[in-house]
Chains A and B, each alone.
Chain A
Amino acid sequence: MSVIRKEDGAGGKYMVELLKKHVFPKIASRAGEIALEDMEDSSDFCDDFAFTTDSYVVSPPIFRGGSIGSLSVCGTSNDLAVMGAKPEFMSLALVIQDGFPLGDFRRIMDDIRDSVELVNLSIITGDTKVVESNVGIIVNTAGIGRRSEELERNLEVLRELRDYPYRWVRDKGLKEGDAIIVSGSIAEHAAVIMAERMGFEVEFKSDVYPVWLFVREALRRGGVTAMKDPTRGGIAAALNEMAEKSGVGIKIFEERIPLKDEVRGLCELLGLDPLTMANEGKVVFGVHPEMADEVLKALHKAGQKEAEIIGYATKEFAEVVLETAVGTTRVVPQPISDPIPRVC
Chain B
Amino acid sequence: MFKITVRGVVQGVGFRPFVHRIASRMGLRGYVRNTGDGSVEIVVDRNPEEFLNILLKERPPLVVIEDFSVAKTNGEIPETFRIVESGGKSLLSLPPPDVAVCDKCLEEVLDSKNRRYLYPFTSCTDCGPRFTISKSLPFDRENTSLADFPLCPDCRKEYGDIKDRRYFAQTIACPRCGPQYRFVWKGGEGGIGDAANALDSGKIIAIKGIGGYHIACLTEDDVVLRLRKLLNRPQQPFAVMVRDLSSAERVAELSNEERAELLSPARPIVVVRKKLPFEAVAPELDTIGIMLPYTPLHHLLFQELKADYLVMTSANLPGEPMYIDESIMEKMELDGFLVHNLEIANRVDDSVVKYVGGRRLLIRRSRGFVPQPIKIDIGFNAIAVGAELYNSIALLKEGKAVVSQYIGNTANFRTYNEFFKRAVKFFARYMNLEKIDYIISDMHPLFNTTNFAEKLSKELSCRHIKVQHHFAHALSVMAEKGLERAVAITVDGVGYGMDGKVWGGEVLLIDLEKGRFERRGRLETFGLIGGDAATYRPLRIAVSLLKRHELLEHYCKYEDVERLIKALPLAVKTTSVGRFLDAVSAMLEVCLERTYEGEPAMKLEAAAEPHEVEVKPEIERRRETCVYNSPFDTEGRQGEIKVLMLRDFFTRCMERYLEGEGRGKIAYEAIAYVARGLGEIALDAARNCKILISGGVGYNRYFLREVERVCGEIVVPSLYPLGDNGISLGQIYALKALEG
**In contact, A341 and B502 (Cβ under 8 angstroms):** yes
Known: A269-B567, A336-B446, A344-B494. A328 touches B412 (CB 8 A): yes
Contact A340 B411 (CB under 8 A): no
Chain A residues closer than 8 Å to B574, beta-carbon distance: 341
Indicate if the CB atoms of B413 and A339 lie closer than 8 Å.
Answer: no
The verdict on A342 contacting B494 (CB below 8 Å), with A199-B566, A269-B564 known, is yes
Complex contact B446–A333 (CB within 8 A) = yes
Specify the chain B residue showing the minimal Cβ separation from A339.
Answer: B531
B532 within 8 A of A: yes
* A331 CB within 8 Å of chain B: yes
Distance in angstroms between the alpha carbons of A301 and B507 in the assembled complex? 62
**A268 at interface (Cβ–Cβ under 8 A)?**
yes
For the complex, give the distance between the alpha carbons of A344 and B183 in Å: 39
**Most chain A beta carbons < 10 A, residue from B390, B411, B493:** B411
Report yes or no: A321 in contact with B413, Cβ–Cβ below 8 A: yes
Interface status of A327 (Cβ within 8 A of chain B): yes
Contacts of B567 in A (CB 8 A): 198, 269-270
Q: Which B407-447 residues have C-beta < 8 A from chain A? A: 411-414, 416-417, 444-447
Question: Chain B contacts of A271 at CB under 8 A?
Answer: 528-534, 570-572
In the complex the two chains form, is A198's CB within 8 Å of B724's CB? no
> With an 8 A cutoff between CB atoms, is A329 at the interface?
yes
The CA of A222 and the CA of B412, in the complex, are separated in Å by 36
Q: Is the CB of B318 within 8 A of A343?
A: no
Give the docked Cα–Cα distance between A344 and B582 (Å).
12
In the complex, chain A residues whose CB is within 8 Å of the CB of B578? 344
In the complex, are the beta carbons of A317 and B417 less than 8 A apart? yes
Does B557 sit at the interface, judged by CB under 8 A?
no
Residues of B contacting A199 with CB < 8 Å? 566
Residues of A within 8 A of B358 (CB): none
Interface check A326, CB cutoff 8 A: yes
B724 interface neighbour in A269, A333, A339, A344, Cβ under 8 Å: A344
Docked pose: A328 CA to B408 CA in angstroms: 14
B506 within 8 A of A: no
Closest to A199 in B: B566
Closest to B695 in A: A344
Interchain pairs with CB closer than 8 A, number: 103
Closest to B442 in A: A342
B696 proximity list for chain A (CB < 8 A): 344
- Report if A270-B414 is in contact (Cβ < 8 Å); known contacts: A341-B502, A341-B572, A343-B493: no
Q: Which of A13, A317, A342 contacts B388 (CB 8 A)?
A: A342
Contact of A198 among B495, B534, B569, B597 (CB under 8 A): B569
Using a CB-CB cutoff of 8 Å, which residues 555-573 of chain B contact chain A?
563-564, 566-567, 569-572
B317 and A268 within 8 A (CB) = no
Contact of B413 among A270, A330, A341 (CB under 8 A): A330
Chain A min CB distance to B422 (Å): 13
> Are A331 and B448 touching (Cβ within 8 A)?
yes
| Interface residue A319 (Cβ < 8 Å from any Cβ of B) | yes
Binary interface profile of A, 302-344, with partner B (CB < 8 Å = 1, else 0)?
Answer: 0000000000000001010100001111110100100111111
Q: Smallest CB–CB gap between B40 and chain A, Å?
A: 42
Within 8 A of B (CB), among A265-318: 268-271, 317
Please name all residues of chain A whose beta carbon is closer than 8 Å to the beta carbon of B179 when the two chains form the complex. Answer: none
Question: Which one of B232, B447, B563 contacts A269 once the chains associate, using CB atoms below 8 Å?
Answer: B563
B389 to chain A, nearest CB (A): 4
The answer to whether residues A341 and B564 also contact, given A328-B319, A328-B412 and a CB cut-off of 8 A, is: no
Contact with A along B499-534 (1 / 0, CB 8 A): 010100000000000000000000000001111111
Question: Which of A326, A336, A342 has the largest count of B CB atoms less than 10 A from its CB?
Answer: A342
Minimum CB distance partner of B493 in chain A: A344
On chain B, the residues within 8 Å of A327 by CB distance are: 317
Q: How far is the CB of A339 from chain B (nearest CB, A)?
A: 5
Chain B nearest Cβ from A263, distance in angstroms: 14
List B residues 613-662 near A (Cβ within 8 Å).
none
Whether B564 lies near A328 (C-beta < 8 A) is no
Report how far A220 CA is from B424 CA in the complex, Å.
Answer: 48
Say yes or no: is B159 at the interface (Cβ < 8 Å to chain A): no
Q: Does B492 contact A (CB under 8 A)?
A: yes
Beyond A269-B529, A270-B530, A271-B534, is A344–B389 a contact (Cβ under 8 Å)? yes
Give chain A's interface residue range (CB within 8 Å of chain B). Answer: 20 to 34
Q: Is B194 part of the binding interface, using a Cβ–Cβ cutoff of 8 Å?
A: no
Q: How far is the CA of A200 from the CA of B562 in the complex (A)?
A: 11
Consensus secondary structure, chain A interface: loop
Of A13, A198, A317, A341, the contact of B531 (CB 8 Å cutoff) = A341
Return chain B residues, CB-CB under 8 Å to A326: 232
Known: A319-B413, A341-B494. A328 touches B318 (CB 8 A): yes
Task: Tell whether, in the assembled complex, residue A340 and residue B502 are in contact, meaning their CB atoms are under 8 Å apart.
Answer: yes
Contacts of B447 in A (CB 8 A): 342
Contact of B213 with A by CB under 8 A: no
> Whole-angstrom distance between the alpha carbons of A42 and B414 in the complex?
36
> B451 at interface (Cβ–Cβ under 8 A)?
yes
Residue in A closest to B578 when the chains form the complex, CB atoms:
A344
Residues on B with beta carbons closer than 8 Å to the beta carbon of A333: 446, 448, 451
- A238 and B621 CA atoms in complex are apart in Å by 46
Do B492 and A344 touch (CB < 8 A)? yes
Contacts of B140 in A (CB 8 A): none
Contact B411 A330 (CB under 8 A): yes
Give the chain B neighbours of A330 by CB distance below 8 A: 411-413
Interface membership of chain B positions 571-599, coded 1 if the CB is closer than 8 angstroms to chain A and 0 otherwise: 11010001000000000000000000100
Interface presence of B134 (CB below 8 A): no
> In whole angstroms, what is the CA distance A200 to B496 when docked?
30
- In the complex, which residues of chain A have a beta carbon less than 8 angstroms from the beta carbon of B530? 268-271
Query: Is there a chain A Cβ closer than 8 Å to B490's Cβ?
Result: no
Query: Within B279-320, which residues are at the interface with A (CB < 8 Å)?
Result: 317-320
Q: Which residues of A contact B405 (CB under 8 A)?
A: none
Collect the chain A residues with CB atoms within 8 Å of residue B232's CB.
326
Taking a contact as CB atoms under 8 Å apart, the answer to whether B413 and A340 are in contact is no
B535 in contact (CB, < 8 A): yes
CA separation between A330 and B416, bound complex, in Å?
9
Chain B, residues 69-97, CB within 8 Å of chain A (1/0): the string is 00000000000000000000000000000
Inter-chain contact B317/A343, CB cutoff 8 Å = no
Cα–Cα distance between A328 and B412 once the two chains are bound (Å): 7
Nearest-neighbor residue (CB-CB) of B318 within chain A: A328
Give A329 to B412 CA distance when docked, in angstroms: 6
Candidate in B317, B492, B528, B530 with the most chain A CB atoms within 10 angstroms: B530
Chain A's closest residue to B568 (CB) is A198
What residues of chain A lie closer than 8 Å to B389, measured between beta carbons? 343-344
Contact with B along A153-196 (1 / 0, CB 8 A): 00000000000000000000000000000000000000000100
Evaluate contact between B532 and A343: CB separation under 8 angstroms: yes
CB distance from B595 to the nearest CB of A (A): 12
Complex Cα gap A343–B414 (Å)? 17
Find chain A residues with CB under 8 A from B416 CB: 331
A328 near B446 (CB under 8 angstroms)? no
A183 to B476, CA, bound (A): 49
Q: Which residues of the partner chain A approach B446 to less than 8 Å between Cβ atoms?
A: 333, 336, 340, 342
Which residue of chain B is the closest to A271 with respect to CB atoms? Answer: B531
B569 / chain A contacts, CB cutoff of 8 Å: 198
Hey, which bits of chain A sit against chain B, CB under 8 A? 13, 194, 198-200, 268-271, 317, 319, 321, 326-331, 333, 336, 339-344
A343-B389, A343-B493 known; 6 new pairs, CB 8 Å cut-off, are A326-B232, A330-B412, A336-B445, A340-B496, A340-B502, A341-B502
19 A–B pairs (Cβ distance < 8 Å), ordered by A: A200-B563, A200-B566, A269-B567, A271-B529, A327-B317, A328-B317, A328-B320, A328-B412, A329-B413, A333-B446, A336-B445, A339-B531, A339-B532, A339-B572, A343-B493, A343-B494, A344-B389, A344-B492, A344-B494
Nearest 8 pairs of A and B residues by beta carbon? A271-B531, A329-B413, A344-B493, A271-B530, A344-B389, A343-B535, A343-B532, A341-B531
